[in-house]
A and B are shown apart, each in its own frame.
Chain A
Amino acid sequence: MSLFRADAGIEETEDHDVGADADPTEIVGRTPWQLAWTRLRHDRVAMVSLGFIVFLALVAIFAPLLTALIGHGPNAQYPNTGLSLSGIPVGPGHAGFLLGTDDQGRDVLSRIIYGSRVSLVVGVGATLVSLVVGMVVGLVAGYYGGWIDALLARFMDILLSFPILLFALAIIARFGPSLELVLIVIAMFSWPYIGRLVRGQVISLREREFVEAARALGSSDLRIMFVEILPNLLALAVIYATLLIPVNIVLEATLSFLGLGVQPPTASWGNMIAEAQNGDLFTVAWWFLVFPCLALILTTLAFNLLGDGLRDALDPRHGRSQMTPKSKATRRADAKGRAEAKDRAQAKAGAATAGAEA
């Protein structure tokens, strides 16, 4: 890790050298986001996770196209091809069912593809809503302090102390299950996590001298909150939102599993798992239980690993320990970078002596 960082340092000085020689208007410093992206690109685990998430998003967006290509609708039953004569689901690879069929002769792959839509819409949507609400409430509470803070902080504590599942069950049972309601209920209980985090950051940021400088210029409270403080919160918010998405995906799956999320026959990973374990058919036809579980686990894992990678990339001071063995690719890049730097230094020294001789 340390060598990698030294390498990044060399890159930076390079930029400046080049800038000094080139046309002065060409100088464009790399933003903190660009630097973070440079660091993230070297994190193989995070990049694989990001790749998986992008893949999943594409699958969700083009779900109708994909199922049309496969030739099996998500809710269509195929009693003739999808079930054996004795009514047992066919296994993976049989009769064009890549991941097999479920107890009603439906294509597991098509259902997983459609289920990803539910998971992503609820997981990402609820997180976005919590992000906006949590940031605004955290900013207001942390910035103003006093009784406003006391009120908002207590409110967040109360929400966090609720037994979420029980309360969600009660609300959904009262208003009837729907995708929108599931999203809203999940957002309602996850925004305080962001809010509390942001509030803590704002309390420390508002004492910084640049906030005082803004006040000395006559900036309004709103301007200080959103122009001065907010940009300093974004990195943290992005990290925690990424880590909140899998939590919310699992929460949606849980609600669907309990029959209060997305209603059958619409596919969701949660209700697929619920249907599969309802009965003991899965002991002989394991695939229609295992594949939805796998989809859920891989998605959750990908978001968590990406979140970790983002944390390292956006806030290198709190990076993972230096014990992490370096990948071969990084080591190769390091060696290459060092060799290049050496070459450059030699070339420069050569040029200098040539200049002196002239």
Chain B
Amino acid sequence: MTTPSDPLLEVEHVVKHFPVRGGAVLRRAVAQVRAVENVSFTLTTGETLGLVGESGCGKSTLARLVTALHPVTSGHIRFKGQEVTTLSRRQMRPLRKSLQMVFQDPYGSLNPRRRVGSILGDPFAVHGTLSRGQVKKEVQDLMARVGLSPEHFNRFPSEFSGGQRQRIGIARALALRPELIVCDEPVSALDVSIQAQIINLLEDLQDEFNLTYIFIAHDLSVVRHVSDRLAVMYLGKLVETGPVEEIYSRSRHPYTASLLSAVPVAATAFRGTRKERVILSGDVPSPVDPPSGCRFHPRCPKAQERCAREEPLLEQKAGDLPGHLTACHFPVEAGEMLAIASREAPATAAPVATAADARS
């Protein structure tokens, strides 16, 4: 049963429902928002898992479950073999040293009324036994490590730019030398040129400290650039997971295929090779009342009667590499055109420079 290298993080059948409360006086739960539904994956040390999906599909909720900011409704999360879902906040505290998070909004994740030195001193104040002088030295080392001037420790967050603030957020996550950092859309609030800098910083830090990342994003080019493996979520469920290049070249789930076909291609040399663009009709259904069977079936170009009835399992499909799992009854075959695919006029393809493009 044991794999040669024990996984750093195991997520098994994790479910998170948020109650929708109604009623003026008694506030009974009248419905459940099924934010995360039966999600499982594992992570090994040094790996980067890219987590993609539309807004509201449960990516951020999953991130907060993994970092134990929200309790799970059911399921198991094991970090370095230790079950974390049953730990109290006090018991969880020592584990937090090795399990950190970088937040999406660099303007909201730093306390506007505190100086940067004090914000970065927090990890030591909460966990450490360092003296005041040592903390100051550590903070300045951290600032230098993420590319900020250590002399700026006396400034307030408002005196920094968005990219600099995100560096502060990364420094804070890095302070206690964690093993796993969950990055919740760390670059989506930043300018494209700054995105590349931050991603390079994250990659350098990964090499230096042997970090493991869960990298949440909706920019697929960024995810492709940083990730080793990819997990695609739709409406709270994993629909496809596998090695990143495998998924980008041979996506099996119709949702993944349509998602990837929407990535703009910047280099004209590749224009001819790009896939047909799949336009999905309709909106993401409400997670309060998700569709029966496969949750994607109302929007799926390949949907059949069975899809509405029977929920597909996340499993390896014939001809796929091990580790490439798809939850679909009728996976996309190589070279197949999806039904409502429409050809995109080349002139409308807006060239979008991404971090990946900038580096290549």
Interface residues of A (CB under 8 A from B): 24-25, 27-29, 31-32, 208-210, 212-220, 223, 227-228, 231-232, 234
Contacts and interface: CB of A to CB of B under 8 A. Distances in A.
B330 interface: no
B150 to A, nearest CB: 9
A25 B152 CA distance: 8
A209 B105 contact: yes
Contact of B96 (A27, A218, A223): A218
Nearest to A12: B159
Given A216-B100, A217-B172, A209 B113 contact: no
Contacts of B69: 212, 215-216
A337 to B, nearest CB: 21
A134 B178 CA distance: 39
A288 B125 CA distance: 60
Most chain B CB within a 10 A radius of its CB, from A218, A223, A231: A218
Contacts of A208: 108
B73 interface: no
Contact of B172 (A27, A213, A220, A228): A213
Interface residues of B, number: 33
A29 B157 CA distance: 10
Contacts of A24: 149, 151
A6 B301 CA distance: 56
B126 A218 contact: yes
A210 B110 CA distance: 5
B122 interface: yes
B248 interface: no
A87 B156 CA distance: 67
20 contacts: A27-B151, A27-B155, A31-B156, A209-B103, A209-B108, A213-B109, A214-B122, A216-B69, A216-B101, A217-B123, A217-B172, A218-B126, A218-B127, A219-B122, A223-B126, A227-B114, A228-B114, A231-B111, A231-B114, A232-B112
By Cβ-Cβ distance, the 3 closest A-B pairs, closest first, are: A231-B113, A209-B108, A218-B96
A291 B56 CA distance: 67
Nearest to B93: A218
Given A29-B159, A219-B122, A213 B92 contact: no
B111 A27 contact: no
Contact of B109 (A28, A32, A210, A227): A210
B354 interface: no
B122 A217 contact: yes
B195 interface: no
Given A212-B103, A213-B101, A219 B126 contact: yes
A210 B108 contact: yes
Contacts of B251: none
Interface string B143-175: 000000101101110010000000001001000
A37 B103 CA distance: 33
B48 interface: no
Nearest to B152: A27
Interface in B87-107: 89, 92-93, 96-97, 100-101, 103-105
A218 B151 contact: no
Contacts of A31: 156
Most chain A CB within a 10 A radius of its CB, from B93, B122, B155: B122
B125 to A, nearest CB: 8
B103 A213 contact: yes
Contacts of B67: 216
B206 to A, nearest CB: 19
B143 to A, nearest CB: 13
A212 B184 CA distance: 12
A220 B101 CA distance: 17
Given A217-B96, A218-B126, 20 more contacts: A24-B149, A27-B154, A28-B154, A31-B156, A209-B104, A209-B108, A209-B109, A210-B110, A212-B109, A213-B101, A213-B169, A213-B172, A217-B126, A217-B127, A218-B89, A218-B92, A220-B126, A227-B114, A231-B111, A232-B112
A28 B151 CA distance: 9
A231 B113 CA distance: 6
A213 B67 CA distance: 11
Most chain A CB within a 10 A radius of its CB, from B97, B113, B159: B113
A220 B126 CA distance: 8
Nearest to B96: A218
A228 B104 CA distance: 19
A209 B168 CA distance: 14
A16 to B, nearest CB: 8
B59 to A, nearest CB: 15
B154 A29 contact: yes
A32 B115 CA distance: 11
B90 to A, nearest CB: 9
Given A212-B69, A215-B69, A32 B123 contact: no
Nearest to B157: A210
B179 to A, nearest CB: 15
A28 B117 CA distance: 12
Nearest to A207: B108
A90 B272 CA distance: 105
Contact of A29 (B111, B127, B155): B155
A232 B113 contact: yes
Most chain A CB within a 10 A radius of its CB, from B96, B104, B109: B109
A350 B154 CA distance: 33
A210 B126 contact: no
Contacts of B151: 24-25, 27
Nearest to B103: A209
B126 A29 contact: no
Nearest to B123: A217
Contacts of B104: 209
A213 to B, nearest CB: 5
Contacts of A27: 151-152, 154-155
Contacts of A28: 154
Contacts of A213: 101, 103, 109-110, 169, 172
B156 A29 contact: yes
Nearest to B175: A217
Most chain B CB within a 10 A radius of its CB, from A215, A217, A227: A217
Contacts of B172: 213, 217
